[in-house]
A = this chain, B = another copy of it.
Amino acid sequence: MNKSEKFDGDLQELARFGKAISHPARLLILKYLADTKTCVSGDISDFIPLSRTTVSQHLKELRDLWLIHGEIDGLKINYCLCSTDINRYLGIFDEFFGKIKSVEITCKSIL
C-alpha cells in the first residue's frame, strides 16, 4: 500500500531522515550521545522513560540509518554518533530547505 517508491530518491532519503527524527525518544538518544560523546546502551535506557526493549528498538532504527554506531566492549555496547552520515543527511536537508527558506512570503492572508 505504501507508494513511496513512486517518488524521487532524494525525497525518499530525506523522508527517511524525517521518519528517524519523528519520535522524541530517538531525538533524546541523539541529544544524549551528543552530550556524553559515547556511552553504553544501558545508560541510554536508564535515561529514557521507556522500557529497555523499546529503547533497544529505537536504537536499532537509528543504527539502520547509520546515525549512530554501536561497538561491542565485552558485555557492554558503546554507542556513539556517526558524524559522517549525520552530516550527509543534514546536507540533503539543507539543500532542500535552503530553497524553501528563500521563497518570499506567499500567504495572502494575515494567517
Contacts and interface: CB of A to CB of B under 8 A. Distances in A.
A110 to B, nearest CB: 10
Contact of A19 (B22, B30, B82): B22
Interface of A: 3-4, 6-8, 11-12, 14-16, 18-28, 30-31, 33-34, 37-38, 49-50, 69, 71, 78, 80-84, 86-87, 90, 93, 96-97, 99-101, 103-109, 111
Given A8-B24, A11-B27, A80 B106 contact: yes
B87 A101 contact: yes
B109 A83 contact: no
A34 B3 CA distance: 23
Contacts of A49: 3, 6-7
Nearest to A16: B22
B82 A107 contact: yes
